[in-house]
Amino acid sequence: MKRLAILFIAVLTIALQPLQAQRRDSVYTASEQFRWQKLVVPGALMGTGILATASPWYRSTVNIPVSEWAQRVSGDVERSFDNVLQYAPYGAYALGALIGCGEHGMLEQVLSVGTSVVLTAIVSGTMKEVCGVLRPNGADRKSFPSGHTCTVFLGAELVRLEFGPWWGLAAYSTAFVTAFMRVYNNWHWTSDLLAGAALGILGAHVGYWLLPLERKLLGVDSKQVSFASRASAMPFYSPTPAGACYGISLAYSF
């Protein structure tokens, strides 16, 4: 157990150092630069979701059979932890911002997340009203797209863009579980999930694409913001006569 703790602390120390040292050398980062290739995945997901919703064939061969299978598995018992799980990536984003391992400063992170969330919520809510797709459980006609899926994929993509692929992998794992639970709990069709994921991913990119404009309008100095808020985390291990002592020390400077 002691060796495992030492190994964990060593790995965590190595992992945190490059993240804390990751800062920008230029004003525009890769996440802020618009490239049409970034539209491929959300575009494909949204296009498939729209076609699937409008297709009687997809409805009869995929949407309905998958929904019926999910209800057999669930036994018509709803497990609503996805209502909380959808926000898990935002908790990871906040943690990353606190320990200072992102490529943007805290103010820039707030701007990018806020812009993404507001714009995506507006588009998602409008689509729900306009499309009027009936939910599998018949509760209302706001099934398309899935709001929970949109929220969690938005958060997961924000985490990936800001903190890198490994953080993104963990965030996306919660996104896929949340999306599955929307079908499991009989609130959405599979086509709703595709559109929700597309909106979330695209919304995250839009938030970063607009960041240079917001920085200019607000007079934000990117280099100053990047270093204005600084936090560090350092795991430690110390053998004592009474036993091993290990933990993590946090330091935050304003």
CB atoms within 10 A of CB 120: 24
In this predicted model, what pLDDT tens digit does every residue of 139-192 receive, in sequence order? 999 999 999 999 999 999 999 999 999 999 999 999 999 999 999 999 999 999
- Determine contact, residues 228/106, Cβ cutoff 8 Å: yes
In this predicted model, what pLDDT tens digit does every residue of 68-120 receive, in sequence order? 999 999 988 889 999 999 999 999 999 999 888 888 888 899 999 999 999 99
Residue 12 pLDDT exceeds 70 = no
Contacts of 31 (CB under 8 A, 6+ apart): 103, 161, 162, 205, 208
| Residue 187 DSSP label | S
Domain membership of residue 8 (yes or no) is no
**Distance, CA of 37 to CA of 124 (rounded, Å):** 23
Domain membership of residue 123 (yes or no) is yes
Instruction: Categorise residue 127: left if φ over 0, alpha if ψ from -120 to 50, beta otherwise.
Output: alpha
- Determine contact, residues 216/210, Cβ cutoff 8 Å: no
Domain membership of residue 186 (yes or no) is yes
Q: What is the share, in percent, of the chain residues with pLDDT greater than 90?
A: 63
Domain membership of residue 139 (yes or no) is yes
Q: What pLDDT sits at residue 238?
A: 56
Q: What pLDDT sits at residue 120?
A: 97
Residue 3 pLDDT exceeds 70 = no
51 — pLDDT class (breaks 50, 70, 90): very high
Domain membership of residue 184 (yes or no) is yes
Domain membership of residue 22 (yes or no) is no
Owning domain of residue 212: 34-228+237-253
- Nearest to residue 83, comparing CAs of 174, 193, 207? 174
Domain membership of residue 84 (yes or no) is yes
Number of domains in the chain: 1
- The structure's pTM equals 0.78
Residue 220 pLDDT exceeds 80 = no
Q: Rounded mean pLDDT of 204-229?
A: 75
Q: What pLDDT sits at residue 143?
A: 96
Q: How far is CA 49 from the centre of its chain?
A: 20
Residue 5 pLDDT exceeds 90 = no
- In the chain, count of helices (H) and strands (E)? 12, 2
Domain membership of residue 9 (yes or no) is no
Residue 162, token pair as written in the block: 């800001």
DSSP string for 42-77: HHHHHHHHHHHHH-HHHIIIIIHHHHHHHHHHHTT-
Q: What is the share, in percent, of the chain residues with pLDDT greater than 70?
A: 76
Q: What pLDDT sits at residue 246?
A: 53
